[in-house]
Structure 1
Amino acid sequence: MPAARGVMNKNLGVNWKLKFLWLWIKRYKHALRVIGGLFFCFALIAGGFWIAGFDIEPIAFVFGLLSSLFLASPSIAEYFLPERKPVREMTFEEILDFIPTTHPKDDWHGISRDWASERFLREDPRLRFRAKFIDDGIQCEDFKEQWANGFPDKRATGYWYELYYDGAFLDRFILVSVDGARVDLPPPDLTTMTISPFAYKVAKIHDTLDNVDEYLNRAGISVENS
C-alpha cells in the first residue's frame, strides 16, 4: 500500500505540473508565436545559405525545429487544457463555476488537523478553503436534521468552510460532520434531498477518507443535474 500510494502521489504531481505548463504556455501564447516566427525567418535565411552552397544544413534544421515547437505549443496546450481564464483573472461568479470542474484529488492539496483544515488549488494556491473546528468555525454544535442524525453515531456538527483568494474572503459554506466525524456532508434541500454540484465538489475536496459518495447514498441525498 505505501508503494502504491507513492506512485499515485507521484502521478498527481506530474499531472498538476503539466497543467501548470499548459496554463503558462496559454498565458504567453502571443510571445511564443512571435518567437516561433523569428525562428522561422532564421530557418529561411539559413536555408537560403544552404542552397547557395554553405554547409549549414544542421543549423537550418534546428531553426526549423524550434520554429515548429514555438508555433505549435499554444495549439498543443489548448488541446490538453481547453480555453479558460487563469484563476487570477476570474470574477467571483466564474470562480464558483470553475470549482465544480476541478478534480478533488488531482487539483487540490492540503492538510487537516484536529482543530483546522485547509485545502488549496495546486494550480494557484491563492485559491483555498479554510475551516476551523473550534470557536467561530462551528456553525451548529448540535446539528439536528433527520438525514444527519440517522447514522449509528447520531451526533452531528455543522462547520463553516470559507473560500479565500489571495487572503481575501469570498464566501463560506456549510459541511456537516456526521457519524462520529467519519465524513463531512453538505446540507441538502430538504424538499428534494438534493445538493448542488458545487456543494458536492466542496465535500469531495475535503473527502480525506473517500467515503462522501457512500454516505450521501446512505442519507438518501443525490446531486442535482448541472
Structure 2
Amino acid sequence: MKLDEIKNVLATSSQDQWIIDDETGSFTYKDNLNLHIERADYDTYRSFDEPWATGHPDSTSSAVEYTVKYCSSFIERHKLVSVDGHRATLPIPESMDSLRVRPSEVNFARIVDIGDRVEEYLGRSQIRIEEY
C-alpha cells in the first residue's frame, strides 16, 4: 500500500471498515490488516483548555494522540481532542479564532470516535468543515 492510498483510506473510509478494540485503543483496517491506528495510553492525555473544547456541560477536555502505522512503520500522527467528559472526539481547529477543520481531519475523528457523535459536537463547538 502506498502513502497516497493510506491517506485516501484515512480521509474516506467509514468506521465500520475498521476492527475496533476500544479497550486498547486499536483500530485495524479490514481491507488491509497491515494498516492500523493506535490511540495513546490514557495516562498520556493532556488537559486541553480552549473555549470551543471546554464549553460543554462537562468542561473536561483532553488532547489525545493517535499514531497511524503500516505494518510497524510510522505513517503519521494526529492530535484530537476528547470533549465533554470523553463523550466525543474532535479534530483541532486551525486556531482559536478560526474554528475550521479539513474534511479529512473530520473523517479521521469519525473513525476513532466510539460514540459516533462527531457531527453533533462539531455543531455544539461551532466548528466548520472546509478546505483551507
TM value normalised by structure 1: 0.54
Q: Give SS of 1:151's match.
A: coil
The structure with higher relative contact order (CA 8 Å, sep 6+) is 2
Aligned partner (choices 42, 45, 52) of residue 147 of structure 1:
52
Q: Does 1:134 align with 2:45?
A: no
Pairs within 5 Å for 1:116-195: 116-135=24-43, 137-138=44-45, 141-190=46-95, 191-195=97-101
Q: Give SS of 1:147's match.
A: helix
8 A contact 1:155–1:178 mirrored in 2: yes
Q: State the shift of 1:132 in Å.
A: 2.2
Distance 1:223 1:216 in 2: 9
Structure 2 counterpart of 1:117, one-letter code: G
Q: State the shift of 1:225 in Å.
A: 4.2
Instruction: Please state which structure has a larger fraction of its residues in helix.
Output: 1
Aligned to 1:97: 8
Kindly, what percent of the aligned residue pairs are identical? 30
Distance 1:126 1:109 in 2: 12
Distance 1:196 1:98 in 2: 15
8 A contact 1:104–1:201 mirrored in 2: no
Structure 1 counterpart of 2:13, one-letter code: T
Aligned to 2:110: 204
Please, which runs of 5 or more residues in structure 2 have no aligned partner? Answer: none
Aligned to 2:20: 110
> Which consecutive aligned stretches of 4+ in structure 1 deviate over 3 angstroms post-superposition?
none
Distance 2:94 2:60 in 1: 20
Instruction: Please state which structure has a larger fraction of its residues in strand.
Output: 2
Structure 2 counterpart of 1:128, one-letter code: H
8 A contact 2:101–2:131 mirrored in 1: no
8 A contact 2:55–2:125 mirrored in 1: yes
